[in-house]
Structure 1
Amino acid sequence: MSDATFHAQPVAVRPPMVGRMMLAVALAAIAGLMFGLDIGVISGALGFIKTEFQASDFELSWIVSSMMVGATVGALLAGRMSYALGRRKSLTYSAAMFVIGAILCAVAHSVAILIIGRAILGLAIGIASFVAPLYISEIADESRRGSLISMYQLMITTGILLAFVSNAVLSYSGSWRWMLGIVGVPGALFLIGSLFLPDSPRWLMLRGRDEEALKTLSTLRHTHQHAHAEIQNIRDQLNSQAKQRGLAMFLENPNFRRSVMLGIGLQVVQQFTGINVVMYYAPRIFAEVGFGQDGQMWGTATVGLVNCLATFIAIAFADRWGRRPMLIAGFAIMAAGLGILAMLMGMGDHASSLTHYLAISVLLCFIAGFAFSAGPLIWILCAEVQPLQGRDFGITCSTVTNWGTNIIVGATFLGLLSTLGSSNTFWLYAGLNALFIVVTLLFVPETKGVSLETIESRLNNGYRLRDIGR
Structure 2
Amino acid sequence: MEDYSQECFQNIKKESNLKKISIISTMGGLLFGYDTGVINGALPFMSRADQLNLTPALEGLVTSSILFGSAFGAVLGGRLSDKYGRKSIIKLIALIFFIATLGCTFSPNAMIMIVCRFILGLAVGGASVIVPTFLAEMAPTNRRGSVVSQNEMMIVTGQLMAYTLNAALGNIFVNNSHIWRYMIVIASVPAVFLWFGMLVVPETPRWLAANGKAAKALEVLREIRNEAEAKIEIKEISKSIEAEKHLDKATFKDLRVPWIRHLVLIGIGIAITQQIPGINIIMYYGTTILEQSGFGTQVALIANIANGVVAVAAAFIFIKFLANRFDRRQLLLTGLTGTTLSMLTMSVVTSKLQGSGLLPFAVLGLTVVFLAFFQGCVGPVCWLLLSEIFPLRLRGIGMGISVFFLWMANFFIGLIFPVMLKSVGLSYSFISFAALGVLGIVFIYKYAPETRNVSLEKIEKHFKNYRIKTVK
Within 5 Å, give how 1:48-63 maps onto structure 2: 48=46, 55=53, 57=55, 62-63=61-62
SS of the residue aligned with 2:304? helix
Aligned: 1:279 with 2:283: yes
Q: CA deviation at 1:344?
A: 1.9
Show the counterpart of 2:5: none
1:338–1:366: 8 Å Cα contact kept in structure 2? yes
- From 413, 420, 443, the equivalent of 2:417 is 413
Aligned to 2:94: 95
> Displacement of 1:235 after TM fit?
4.6
Deviation at 1:245, TM superposition (A): 4.8
C-alpha deviation, 1:190, in angstroms: 0.8
Question: Are 2:464 and 1:458 aligned?
Answer: no
Tell me the CA shift for residue 186 of structure 1. Answer: 0.4
Shift of 1:434: 4.4
User: Which residue identity is paired with 2:32?
Assistant: F
Match in the other structure for 1:29:
26
RMSD, aligned α-carbons:
3.7
- The answer to whether the 8 A contact 1:133-1:383 is kept is no
Per the alignment, residue 334 of structure 1 pairs with: 339
8 A Cα contact 2:167 2:301, kept in partner? no
Amino acid across the alignment from 1:87: R
Does the CA contact (< 8 Å) of 1:86 and 1:203 recur in 2?
yes
Q: In the TM superposition, what whole-angstrom CA distance separates every residue of 1:314-351 from its partner, at most 9, and x where no partner exists? A: 221354324614323322321232232223233245x8
Q: Is the 8 A contact 1:96 1:191 kept in 2?
A: yes
Q: 1:170: Cα distance to partner?
A: 2.9
Aligned with 2:300: secondary structure? helix
Bigger Cα displacement from structure 2, 288-297 vs 270-279:
288-297
The Cα offsets for residues 6-33 of structure 1, whole Å up to 9 and x where unpaired, read as: xxxxxxxxxx995544443333322121
Change (3 A) 1:287 1:309: same
Deviations 1:341-395 (CA, angstroms, capped at 9, x unpaired): 223233245x855565344322211011111222223223323444445434333
Q: Is the 8 A contact 2:353 2:359 kept in 1?
A: no
Secondary structure of residue in 2 paired with 1:162: helix
State the match for 1:9 in structure 2. none
- Say if 1:106 and 1:180, in contact at 8 Å, map to a contact too: yes
Report whether the alignment pairs 1:307 with 2:304.
no
Partner residue in 1 for 2:146:
147
Q: In the TM superposition, what are the counterparts of 1:339-378 in structure 2 within 5 Å?
A: 339-348=344-353, 353-354=357-358, 356-378=360-382
Choose which of 181, 185, 188 in structure 1 pairs with 2:189. 185
For 1:95, the aligned partner's letter is A
Distance 1:158 1:67, change over 3 A: same
Q: From the superposition, tell whether residues 251 and 458 of structure 1 become closer, same or farther in structure 2 (CA, over 3 Å).
A: same
Query: Does the CA contact (< 8 Å) of 2:40 and 2:287 recur in 1?
Result: no
Structure 1 moving runs of 4+ over 6 Å: none
**Matches of 1:18 and 1:121, distance apart in 2:** 33
2:37: which partner in 1? 40
Tell me the equivalent position of 1:157: 156
Structure 1: give runs of 5+ residues left out of the alignment.
1-15
Q: Tell me the equivalent position of 2:125.
A: 126
Partner deviation per Cα, 1:214-257 (whole Å, 9 max, x = no partner): 66556555624762574377357526632x35434x43665554
CA contact (8 A) 1:221 1:227 kept: no
Distance 1:158 1:295 in 2: 21
Match of 1:6 in 2: none
Report % sequence identity.
30
Specify whether residues 65 and 358 from structure 1 end up closer, same or farther in structure 2 by C-alpha distance, changes over 3 A only: closer
The 1:357–1:114 alpha-carbon spacing in structure 2 relative to 1, beyond 3 Å, is closer
Amino acid paired to 1:344:
V
Deviation at 1:86, TM superposition (A): 2.7
CA distance in 2, matches of 1:31, 1:372: 22
What is the count of residue pairs matched by the alignment?
A: 448
Q: Is the 8 A contact 1:29 1:152 kept in 2?
A: yes
Amino acid at match of 1:336: L
* C-alpha spacing 1:269/1:198, structure 2 compared with 1 (3 Å): farther
